[in-house]
Amino acid sequence: MSDFDLFKTTEEHEELRAAVRAVAEDKIAPHAAEVDEKSAFPRQALEALVATDFHAPHIGEEYDGVGADALATCIVIEEVARVCASSSLIPAVNKLGTMPVILGGSEDVKRRYLPEVASGEAMFSYGLSEREAGSDTAGMRTQAVRDGDDWVLNGQKSWITNAGVSKYYTVLAVTDPEGPRGRNITAFVLHADDAGFTLGEPERKLGIKGSPTRELFFDGVRIPGDRIVGEPGEGLKIALRTLDHTRVTIGAQAVGIAQGALDHAVAYVKERKQFGRAVADFQGVQFMLADMAMKLETARQMVYAAAAKSERGDADLAFFGAAAKCYASDAAMEITTDAVQLLGGAGYVKDFPLERMMRDAKITQIYEGTNQIQRLVMARQLLKK
């Protein structure tokens, strides 16, 4: 089998793309500008995605999910992000929040939480970053202390996507302060209604305004011992394995944003006339479009290749996941910026979606590990060899 065959989309993948695109254009796109303008969670998008089983497609059939493979999940996220980046965070963060459970949770924990997410009854967020522990995840200060069969959690988490709309949260905490750094952290499932668990005010953000981002605060939160994910001390290992898989989905989100921007730019320059000719007739514009499309297709192929590796659990997933996320997000920032430029003044105003797409693209270079961290991940993988 050639390398290309490893991630070639099947007829089923392309049928899925068409189905998601139809839902996105009909049910999600009409609300995207308002969601951004009002910083409102996209309820219409959630309802449409749940109705079509696109809200958490990665969950396996054994847990009442549809069992979409990693590439199919990327296609869902890509097509939703093409019209609304905030809405694409519904399937993306459901995967991020549940991936530690899938990778490290006991069968009991999986059966307790995954079916509820698969049905659309619950959403799942991920609590790893802190104010002083963003890129330095092992430097977290949130602690959980064992108390009989339970654990008592104190601390905070920052920049938590979809906080306040999610029912469940995978939270990482230090459980052995004297233990070796990075091997003294444990993962737990928290419930939104746990006593002592509160939320900060929504962050006022540059982009993805329809997806709430808030701090989590823990003041003596008692967690039953049967909500631990994996074994004590395995939390950071599970968290980093999670990111190897979910960075691919951020790459897919970036590809979707970039595709939406390119679509709008192409349509505009074909209609807009200057000096008696369509703007698209000018060679300088054509070269810009060619470069945008070339970067976009390179990013898409990198994401799809990484998705195939995620599905197989390949040993080099860490490199390819980081590379796909890093390249695709950098490309999305460049493509959306160029799309704004191609529309001129029209690109700079809210009458067109390009300025929103440019603002939304920026976060893909930052979350789930800044692109500087992605380059460190890639370099370390190379040096291991």
Domain segments of the chain as ranges: 4-118, 124-232, 237-384
Quick one: DSSP state of residue 25? I
pLDDT attached to residue 308 = 95
Q: Is the domain defined by 237-384 classed in CATH 1.20.140.10?
A: yes
Rounded CA-CA distance 221/70 in Å is 34
Average pLDDT, integer, range 316-328: 98
Q: Domain 4-118 falls in which CATH fold?
A: Butyryl-Coa Dehydrogenase, subunit A; domain 1 (1.10.540)
Give the per-residue pLDDT at 385: 73
Q: Return all residues near 16 (Cβ < 8 A) that are at least 6 apart.
A: 68, 72, 75, 76
**Does residue 76 register a pLDDT over 80?**
yes
Residue in 271, 333, 317 with CA at minimum distance from that of residue 103:
317
Does the annotation count 34 as an active-site position?
no
Does residue 141 come out as left (phi exceeding 0), alpha (psi in the -120 to 50 range) or beta?
A: alpha
Residue 192 sits at φ, ψ, to 5 deg, of -60, -30
- Band (pLDDT 50/70/90 cuts) for residue 8 is confident
Question: Given this model, what pLDDT does residue 3 score?
Answer: 45
The pTM (predicted TM-score) of the whole model is 0.96
Given the residues 78, 130, 215, 368, select the one marked as catalytic: 368
- Which of 3.90.25.10, 2.40.110.10, 3.30.1490.20, 3.30.300.130 would CATH assign to domain 124-232? 2.40.110.10
